[in-house]
Amino acid sequence: MHHPRPRLLLLDFDGLLVHYSHGARLLHLARSCGVEAAQVAEAVFASGLEAAHDSGSLDTASYLRRIGEALGSRLDEAPWIQARVASCRVQPQVVELVRQLDGQVAVGILSNNGGLLPEVVRQVLPTLHPRLHGRVLCSAALQARKPHPGIFAAALAHCGTEARHALFVDDLFVNVRGARAAGLHAETARDAQTLRKVFKRYGLL
């Protein structure tokens, strides 16, 4: 079954464009702060700070300050970004598929992440970043998290595109269902092989 060719392609970051290693991120942050990885896990994740930052209810400066207070060590943006970059392993074949798309399709990223994600994407995906044109959209900025339909509505408003002209691709089906509830075309993919099939289905290849 073929679908209308989309004007906007929104892609998940972790799990599609890159593989995310939580352990690598914890170790990198632990080294930066001079503590154990278990302490970082408690201060950042178990505490709820990461979820609050990702949802937009806690700004980046407060998030970093409170982590530093919990760990007894100052944490600035640079080492946080370095740890997040270290947690990402690019899927080069996926990135190349996206880069091959013609200029008639606007490309963006839609991710459940905090406000530092755009800089992480710039460093992790340097060859794709110029194609994104400011469309690195995170849950913190949009004040909603996938799979809530509200995040998709906010992303469409930012991009100036109607839902029927947008295609969203994520590795988690729960997020795909959220996008479909918001009126977007949405499909699941987690590697180049499955993404290629989606692109063919929508006339992108």
Query: Measured between alpha carbons, how far is 107 from 100 in angstroms, rounded to an integer?
Result: 11
Can you list the alpha helix ranges (DSSP code H) found in 36-102? 37-40, 49-55, 60-71, 77-86, 92-99
- Looking at the DSSP bridge assignments, the partners of residue 111 are 138
Q: What is the pTM of this model?
A: 0.95
Confidence of residue 100 (pLDDT cuts 50, 70, 90): very high
Pick the CATH number of 8-20+89-201 from 3.50.50.60, 3.40.50.2000, 3.40.50.300, 3.40.50.1000: 3.40.50.1000
Contact between 40 and 68 (Cβ < 8 Å)? no
Residue 86 clears pLDDT 90, i.e. is over it: yes
